[in-house]
A and B are shown apart, each in its own frame.
Chain A
Amino acid sequence: MTAVTLGEATPEPTDDPTQASDRRQAVIWWIFVACVLAWLGWKLSALNWALVWRVSPLLWQGYIVSCLLTLVSVALGMVFGIGLAAARMSRFAPLRYLSMAYTETVRATPQLMVIFWIFFTYPVFAGHNMSPWTGAVVSLTMIASAYLAEVIRGGLLSVPKIQSESATVIGLSRSQTFIRVLLPQACRNMLPAFITTLITSFKVTSLVYVIGLIDFFRAASLINNRNFAPATLYTVVAIVYLITCFALSRLVGLLDPKYKLQ
């Protein structure tokens, strides 16, 4: 009798053994995740959260600097990146080589070196110093534009040849074809690679401390020098970077336009 009631109460009796084993695996997995989270929570609660609360305005300032630098350098880098990609696909050979030389040089150089080099060689050429902000924006833009140029070029190459051919036969000029037909489709194709570059750019902002700018990471280490709570502070840094980069990676879904390529 009891067995029958129990049997009826079971939501969906499955005769598929794989489905049942899938469910068992899922349960085990979630129990494991819950245990890890509980253990992490217990350990994290031992950290100095009062300190985090106290210094949060400073951290916040640093975070804003990081975000601003990312936005500005990626926005400008996109503009220059389009120019570099167009130049690299130009019919005029010197333009092509110039773009290639720039892109390959920057990409083959450590980002830290680019930042140093811009900041410290600029006075040699210009005769006066550069503000850390300008230095950071210029060097990060240079880095972003080199990486984005390749991303954009990849996007452009992924557009089928027939698209530019049909633009040509209806009378569009080369620049009209580029702007109206190729670039919009390239942007769509390169979206995932673009997001990756955006995330990298955000992480690269942690290098600008070398020219005296206080970004998020630098803010945390300065606070640590004063209050010495490395476990706490760097855990917070890690969590914030994780959340930000994860949120950025989710942007793909939001930016994805509704038309499909055939």
Chain B
Amino acid sequence: MMDQIATMSPSTETGTPIIELRDVCKWYGPTQVLKGINLTIDAGSVMVICGPSGSGKSTVLRCICGLEEAQSGTLQVMGRVLNKQTLGDANFRSDIGMVFQRFSLFPHMRVLANLTLAPRKVRGMKKSEAEKQAHAMLARVGLADKANVYPNELSGGQQQRVAIARALVMTPKIMLFDEPTSALDPDLVREVLDVMRELAKSGMTMVVVTHEMGFARQAGDRVVFMNHGEILENRSTEEFFARPATEPARRFLDNVLHH
């Protein structure tokens, strides 16, 4: 288990910037959803992005993994500027893992096939090798016995753990989480957060959009607070939770903590 985690750790040197956004702007039609985002994320660190809905948190993640294109500004990931060319490189793309809110598993494939598809088709791995790796990864997220079931036979929490495992089999250098627990029943949130905490401990670079402030406090190195497409705060976790500097962040924390 331990050396599995060790092999999971990104090779990039801890502490150096692995994601850099410079003055990133994005519009959906006439509405500007990102208003000049500047953000640096160090390798091996866990950054939590929070903020009210519609503040552009998810859009930041979607720009980093190439699902959305920024209209101006530059995004650099692992030393490479994101553009059509770099995003056309499947190996580069799959170095950035992403976990969505829900329903991202392929419902027509068993869990094992969900996990072996990309390693085989993108990395050209042999079937037996990919399956061995998939079984190991399922064991890591605590679902060793679920390899041969269809996603709809799993609970929401189990589905999210499989989604994490599916991202991890591509040995990504960065893991992005877009509200991975917000569509789950409260009693299923914990098992997903546990897997994420373990992943954070293993030294994975993580960017997590979440309302789970408990997770942010425990696992996060930095907290970014966004509002109306702008970053209002970007501080260490202790500082942020001790006392947010801006009024919207204070109000947000108040709402989330005492609802």
Contacts and interface: CB of A to CB of B under 8 A. Distances in A.
A256 to B, nearest CB: 12
Contacts of A258: 150
Interface string B104-138: 11111000000001100111000000000000000
B205 interface: no
A262 B98 CA distance: 20
Given A168-B67, A170-B166, A262-B152, A180 B104 contact: no
B27 interface: no
Interface stretch (A116-124, A158-166, A234-242): A158-166
B209 interface: no
Given A162-B100, A163-B106, A262-B107, A169 B65 contact: yes
Contacts of A180: 106, 117, 121
Contacts of B97: 169-170
A169 B170 CA distance: 10
B157 interface: no
A166 B151 CA distance: 15
A139 to B, nearest CB: 34
Nearest to A171: B94
Interface in A38-58: none
Q: How large is the interface on B (under 10, 10 to 19, 20 to 34, 35 or more residues)?
A: 20 to 34
B107 A172 contact: no
Nearest to B108: A184
A259 B107 contact: yes
Contacts of B103: 160, 162, 262
A181 B106 contact: yes
B107 A261 contact: yes
Contacts of B66: 168-169
A249 interface: no
Contacts of B118: 170-172
Contacts of B140: none
Interface residues of A, number: 24
B187 to A, nearest CB: 19
A172 B170 CA distance: 11
B170 A260 contact: no
B170 to A, nearest CB: 6
A188 B67 CA distance: 26
Given A260-B150, A261-B152, A262-B152, A172 B106 contact: no
A173 B89 CA distance: 9
B83 interface: no
B86 interface: no
Interface string B167-206: 1001000000000000000000000000000000000000
B77 interface: no
A160 B102 CA distance: 11
A262 B151 CA distance: 8
A172 B65 CA distance: 13
Contact of A169 (B93, B106, B123): B93
A165 B91 CA distance: 16
A180 B150 CA distance: 16
Contacts of B105: 166, 262
A110 interface: no
Contacts of B106: 163, 166-167, 180-181, 185
A170 B170 contact: yes
A170 B122 contact: yes
Most buried by A among B67, B98, B106: B106
A261 B105 CA distance: 10
B108 A257 contact: yes
A258 to B, nearest CB: 8
B67 A165 contact: yes
B170 A171 contact: yes
Nearest to A184: B108
Given A171-B90, A260-B152, A162 B107 contact: no
Contacts of A257: 108
Contacts of B107: 185, 259-262
B108 A172 contact: no
A169 B67 contact: yes
Nearest to B91: A171
B170 A163 contact: no
Contact of A166 (B104, B122, B123): B104
Nearest to B163: A166
Nearest to B118: A170
A259 B122 contact: no
Give 7 nearest A-B pairs by CB, closest first: A171-B94, A171-B122, A166-B104, A170-B118, A171-B90, A169-B98, A259-B150
Interface of B: 65-67, 90-91, 93-94, 96-98, 100, 103-108, 117-118, 121-123, 150-152, 159, 163, 166-167, 170
12 contacts: A166-B104, A169-B67, A170-B94, A171-B118, A171-B121, A173-B90, A185-B106, A258-B150, A259-B152, A260-B107, A262-B103, A262-B152
